[in-house]
Structure 1
Amino acid sequence: MTFGGRGGPAGTGGPGRGTGPAEEPAAAQRPDLRRVLALFRPYRATLIGVLLLIVLGAATGVVTPFLIRAIVDVALPEQRADVLAWTVGGLIAVTVVSSALGVTQSMLSTRVGQSVMHDLRVSVYSHLQRMGLGFFTRTRTGEIQSRIFSDIGSMQAVVTSVMTQIVSAAAGVVMALVAMLALDWRLTLFSLIALPFAVWMNRRVGRRRRAIVRTRQEKAADLSAGIQESLSVSGILLGVTMGRTQALSDTFAADSQELADLEVRSEMAGRWHMAVFTTLMALFPALTYFLGGHLLFADPTGEGVTIGTLVAFIALQSSLFPQLNGLLRVANQVNSSLALFARVFEYLDAPILIQDAPDAVALEAATVRGEIRFEGVDFTYPGAEEPALHGIDLVIPAGKHTALVGATGSGKTSTGYLMARLYEPTAGRITLDGHDLREITMDSLAASIGVVTQETYLLHATIAENLRFARPGASDEDLVSACRIAQIHEHIESLPEGYATVVGERGYRFSGGEKQRLALARTILRDPPVLLLDEATSALDVATERAMSGALDAAARGRTTVSIAHRFSTIRHADQILVLQHGRILERGTYDELVGRGGLFAQLALADARRDDAGSSAPEETTVRP
């Protein structure tokens, strides 16, 4: 369920937004089991302890049938009170020890499993943090959330208990088989007749369930993405104003029903096969009594099969079959869960295209002058056919104001993206104070270039917390100073809760101009030597933009400023203006020089002036919305 198609063009000229790869390779669908086991490697010491407890518990469990045989064959027939006492005491001790071992094993295995879950979540989240803007223009937020929470959450049973259940059941099966062979090899072979059929059936069911589970998780991701889009503030506004609320509810109901059907199919896959096997296993004790009775009749001396041996064997068999059945069922569950691991490993294996070079240098923001150069820069968005920029050569002088203008799609925003290293050029290079951006650490580059975009993003937190996101150690005085420069301090002080006011999701409790000034204050708080303003006022009305211009002028003092401008009133006094068209620089000069030439800039400036004359002059709303 989504508002738009999956492959439409992105607003930046980049690739369209989708759900991820349309077709996963076979290797992704069947991850190497060794890679899954490698997740447990940091906890191998604890796992060794768990394995020892499992083996000890399994060994303790097989003692019981031998104690029962002693009671049946010795204590009761011979009326030996001493034998009866120590065998009954042994049964009680076995029960107590088994329970204590089980609780300890469960605690340790759960702790290891939760640690693995934590490591996996953090690994995926940290990897995605470094994926770069291009990945997120192609992937829905709901899809990412689904893989981190739904997929990894669904693995919880596997990593917390299933692995130890497999080892525990396997140890129990081995111990039981050894004990059964010690009692009578003929009855043991008879008990294992159906095992090859069970293994074959289990593998067949596992393949079916793995395919269903992958489809189920993909549908769950679609549902999660639909919820994230339609139940956000923007989604609600769009749905209500377009009269699509009922249609969205109907779509959600259909998707939810499909997911429910997949859940049923996943749960019921192979249940009839397992029911047949379980029924067959339930018949074996009776058949064993029949076979054992005939063996006893054939050897009345009791040297082969005794009554105690037969009773003890049935007790072992009653323990073996449930463990064997559980082992096959758990193995089937692990086989199915490989689809979940595959989806998570797809993200972990996604290449990080923009990262620190091995010899990257960390610049001190205080020493950065702020001169930026583009030298023969070409850039094409991943998956696009036409270049967004071609042959860009420009110098942005330190401490000066440079403006980029042009029609929609001319390459202004792409230039800003490259400057902030959200993408990397296809050809050529970009330097900051003579350093290639690819040779500068990402952290120091972010500290040197502050970005204020058209789409302001504020956290659902207090004003102070939003500001300190840029500099966690900032004092209250630092917040006030930044807000004064951004010309928003007086308004914050007028609010009942001041800097403790919660801004609401994405800042919807504040007007457009207020959100822009809060975002500007957040950037100023970091005190970057270079300020990149990406159409920071294009969404504001004329009156609000004029109020915002004063804040921008104050913030730009003493810094290298690059304005990607939609309205020309904000760049009238820029030191240089670059006019872009179809990814190339068409004109350069000051405002007056470019107007005097009567070229493209003059046409754009005239059109902008007409829009301003027709614009609203209503004062900006400054009341916090409930």
Structure 2
Amino acid sequence: MTVPPSTPRGGRGGRPPETIDPRDRRRLAESPVSMRRVACLFRPHARTVVVVTVLIVAVSVISMAQPFLLRTVIDDALPARDVRLLLWAVGGMLAVTVVTQLLGVVQTWLTTSVGQQVMHGLRTDVFRHLQRQSVAFFTRTRSGEVQSRLTHDITGMQSVITSTATGVASNVTTAAATALAMVALSPRLSLLSLLVVPPAVLLTRRVALLRRDITATRQRRLAELHSQVEEGLTVSGATLVKTIGAADATAERFAATSTDLIDLELRSQLAGRWRMATMQIVFAAIPALVYLAAGFPATSGGMTIGTLIAFTTLQAGIFRPLMGLLDVGAQWVTSMALFSRIFGYLDLPIDVAPPTAPVAVQHDRVRGEVRFEGVRMSHDVDAEKPTYAVDGVTLHVPAGTTLALVGETGSGKSTLAGLLARLHDPQSGRVTVDGIDLRDLDPTDLARIVGVVSQDTYLVHASIRDNLLLAAPGASERELWQALEAAQVAALVDGLPDGLDTVVGARGHRFSGGEKQRLAIARTLLRNPRVLVLDEATSALDTETERELQQALDRLMAGRTTLTVAHRLSTVRDAEQIAVLDHGRVVEIGRHDDLVRRDGRYARLVADRAPAEADRTLAA
């Protein structure tokens, strides 16, 4: 049986039974799930599923022998003092228990194995599919939603497999076998049970629903409490709280949520006690009615004591499968909603699709000549009148030279750089390296040819060594230190107590901006790309740190084709070409001195930014 993370579920044992979440109904209405597609997930495990079904039926049938053996003990073996019969009956009872438990263990092992394998396939398929999505997908999608699909939803699939499917089969067979056994023991009392058991089951379910709403509210408040902990006690959250002076307000909000939980917990526990009390009354009343009926000659039908005890045992056991079958509708909708959410991600079209027949590349022969040929790119391509971030750009960057992109914010510089790294594809035109369209290159080959160093350096929460090995898993210790030396960060790493094994912290918070950038440069150096994209790599740094980092960048750029995006004109003055962008179009192109003499857009940018850059230099 499956539920969303914040929704309680139930049955006996203090948990309320399931109701259908309206969100699941809406999801299925919008994105219905084909049963054929669900069945395909289990096709590789068809034999195991058949074996599990057989085991479920076998356990239900074998367990029905227990009350008949109990009747034999009470009615025959004990009154007649027949030790031999008593030993056989008691041994049979023990054997039934041992066999059903062993079969239950095998069933659990098989269903869990199937569930884990299906989960593994779905999890890896979704992860790989999302990895192939363009950056635009991650820009418009909350990271928490992606994580929820990969963890909560897919984890819920195991419950679908191990509880929903097997639970329905088990409950049906158990209820049917129990009902037949009850009729075999006493048709008259079975008729009484048909009148009493269904209302008792429905009453028990209705009482349990009273607790569901309280528990659901408590779960939501707990989720809010967890969110407040995550927001206030992480590196970024704690920094924000301290810098804006929101510590008291945050603490008060946390305290208010915690206070609400006290009241909800009290109400939940009291509701649970009323539920349990009602259930106990119901469970005691039904056997009492059976005993009463058995005491009257008109209704007893000459029933023996053993038959009566066996019958009441069966009657008590029929509650669980009937309660489970009442939840089938909610289980079904919830399960299908989970499949719908997972399939929804698997069905996402890939904006930046890998080529079906990639062009073979010999990396030692790549020169790094880059061309943009009539490139147009819009981030809102589905709009009626899309706005183009890059509009008809044609540029040629000879191998081993540097092209700098300048312009006002929003002029299309980073979008153009992203096209070279194939973070997105143009709607028209093409981008080539050595005459090969990037769309015809295998993503692995492209990553070896084009290296990127951006302003937002990302370091995973692992050691320096692990971060470097992401770029070159087979790199030796010597190669790691050579890359660090070239990036002018070897001395820093060598001075750390754990050296290369130093953990960088969440997003590299242990290091300064300049240090993180140099580690990123070292990581890029390990890949030895022929084409380099520097997207605002030094814009967030102070002048002194920028000067030090620029020396590392100069080493990185040596002999490579480089596309540089920069706001600071000091970082682009020595470029062989400077392209000035305005609203996605190239309005000027040339060297620094030539563009200044033209007294055009670039000259105005220089004039506007020169005082600010001079102030930064003096401040340093």
TM-score w.r.t. structure 1 length?
Answer: 0.81
Instruction: Name the residue aligned to 1:140.
Output: 142
Matched, 1:180 2:182: yes
Tell me which moved more, 396-405 or 269-278: 269-278
Deviation of 1:471 (Å) = 0.7
Instruction: Name the residue aligned to 1:15.
Output: none
Q: Tell me how far apart the structure 1 counterparts of residues 372 and 214 of structure 2 sit (CA, whole Å).
A: 51
Tell me which moved more, 428-437 or 194-203: 194-203
Q: Tell me how far apart the structure 1 counterparts of residues 263 and 554 of structure 2 sit (CA, whole Å).
A: 59
> 1:60-209, aligned counterparts within 5 Å?
60-76=62-78, 80-153=82-155, 157-161=159-163, 163-193=165-195
Instruction: Name the residue aligned to 1:441.
Output: 442
Tell me which moved more, 387-396 or 34-43: 34-43
CA shift in 2, pair 1:547/1:251, >3 Å: same
Matched, 1:493 2:491: no
Aligned residue type for 2:462: A
Matched, 1:368 2:369: no
Aligned residue type for 1:396: V
**Tell me, what secondary structure is at the counterpart of 1:615?**
helix
Is the 1:210–1:339 Cα contact (8 Å) retained in structure 2? Answer: no
Is the 2:352–2:425 Cα contact (8 Å) retained in structure 1? Answer: yes
Instruction: Name the residue aligned to 2:461.
Output: 460
Deviation of 1:369 (Å) = 2.3
Deviation of 1:137 (Å) = 1.5
Deviation of 1:600 (Å) = 1.0
Q: Tell me how far apart the structure 1 counterparts of residues 67 and 197 of structure 2 sit (CA, whole Å).
A: 22
**Tell me, what secondary structure is at the counterpart of 1:248?**
helix
Instruction: Name the residue aligned to 1:591.
Output: 592
Per-residue CA deviations over 1:175-207 (Å, capped at 9, x if unaligned) read 212322333444434423467768989999999
Is the 2:28–2:340 Cα contact (8 Å) retained in structure 1? Answer: no
How many corresponding residue pairs?
Answer: 594
Per-residue CA deviations over 1:287-341 (Å, capped at 9, x if unaligned) read 33444555x54796x5xx5554444333322222233234445775665566555
Q: Tell me how far apart the structure 2 counterparts of residues 131 and 211 of structure 1 sit (CA, whole Å).
A: 39
Is the 1:579–1:585 Cα contact (8 Å) retained in structure 2? Answer: yes
Instruction: Name the residue aligned to 1:11.
Output: none
Deviation of 1:410 (Å) = 0.7
Tell me which moved more, 125-134 or 139-148: 139-148
Is the 1:58–1:168 Cα contact (8 Å) retained in structure 2? Answer: yes
CA shift in 2, pair 1:73/1:103, >3 Å: same
CA shift in 2, pair 1:132/1:222, >3 Å: farther
Instruction: Name the residue aligned to 1:27.
Output: 29
CA shift in 2, pair 1:499/1:375, >3 Å: same
Aligned residue type for 2:104: G
Instruction: Name the residue aligned to 1:432.
Output: 433
Is the 1:210–1:335 Cα contact (8 Å) retained in structure 2? Answer: no
**Tell me, what secondary structure is at the counterpart of 1:65?**
helix
**Tell me, what secondary structure is at the counterpart of 2:430?**
strand
Deviation of 1:423 (Å) = 1.5
Q: Tell me how far apart the structure 1 counterparts of residues 316 and 552 of structure 2 sit (CA, whole Å).
A: 80
Instruction: Name the residue aligned to 1:568.
Output: 569
> 1:299-378, aligned counterparts within 5 Å?
302=302, 308-328=306-326, 332=330, 336=334, 342-378=340-376
Is the 1:392–1:584 Cα contact (8 Å) retained in structure 2? Answer: yes
**Tell me, what secondary structure is at the counterpart of 2:374?**
strand
Q: Tell me how far apart the structure 2 counterparts of residues 207 and 597 of structure 1 sit (CA, whole Å).
A: 79
Aligned residue type for 1:89: G
Q: Tell me how far apart the structure 2 counterparts of residues 208 and 579 of structure 1 sit (CA, whole Å).
A: 67
**Tell me, what secondary structure is at the counterpart of 2:388?**
coil
Deviation of 1:391 (Å) = 1.6
Per-residue CA deviations over 1:39-83 (Å, capped at 9, x if unaligned) read 555444444433333322222211122223333444455554443
C-alpha root-mean-square deviation of aligned residues, in Å? 4.1
Q: Tell me how far apart the structure 1 counterparts of residues 189 and 257 of structure 2 sit (CA, whole Å).
A: 53
Instruction: Name the residue aligned to 1:480.
Output: 481
Matched, 1:552 2:550: no
Aligned residue type for 2:150: I
Q: Tell me how far apart the structure 2 counterparts of residues 84 and 588 of structure 1 sit (CA, whole Å).
A: 102
Instruction: Name the residue aligned to 2:290.
Output: 288
Aligned residue type for 2:372: F
Is the 1:355–1:442 Cα contact (8 Å) retained in structure 2? Answer: no
Q: Tell me how far apart the structure 2 counterparts of residues 377 and 603 of structure 1 sit (CA, whole Å).
A: 26
Deviation of 1:614 (Å) = 0.6
Q: Tell me how far apart the structure 2 counterparts of residues 38 and 282 of structure 1 sit (CA, whole Å).
A: 47
Aligned residue type for 1:531: L
> 1:410-429, aligned counterparts within 5 Å?
410-429=411-430
Matched, 1:605 2:606: yes
Is the 2:293–2:300 Cα contact (8 Å) retained in structure 1? Answer: no
Tell me which moved more, 152-161 or 590-599: 152-161
Q: Tell me how far apart the structure 1 counterparts of residues 344 and 219 of structure 2 sit (CA, whole Å).
A: 14
CA shift in 2, pair 1:155/1:92, >3 Å: same
Q: Tell me how far apart the structure 1 counterparts of residues 619 and 370 of structure 2 sit (CA, whole Å).
A: 39
Deviation of 1:355 (Å) = 2.2
TM-score w.r.t. structure 2 length?
Answer: 0.82
Is the 1:209–1:336 Cα contact (8 Å) retained in structure 2? Answer: no
Tell me which moved more, 90-99 or 517-526: 90-99
Per-residue CA deviations over 1:223-277 (Å, capped at 9, x if unaligned) read 7666555544333222211112333344455667789999999999999899878
Unpaired stretches in structure 2, ≥5 consecutive residues: 1-22
Q: Tell me how far apart the structure 1 counterparts of residues 94 and 440 of structure 2 sit (CA, whole Å).
A: 70
CA shift in 2, pair 1:139/1:275, >3 Å: farther
Is the 1:68–1:312 Cα contact (8 Å) retained in structure 2? Answer: yes
Tell me which moved more, 25-34 or 142-151: 25-34
CA shift in 2, pair 1:100/1:249, >3 Å: same
CA shift in 2, pair 1:500/1:90, >3 Å: closer
**Tell me, what secondary structure is at the counterpart of 1:480?**
helix
**Tell me, what secondary structure is at the counterpart of 1:173?**
helix
Instruction: Name the residue aligned to 2:526.
Output: 525
Q: Tell me how far apart the structure 1 counterparts of residues 292 and 375 of structure 2 sit (CA, whole Å).
A: 86
Matched, 1:400 2:401: yes
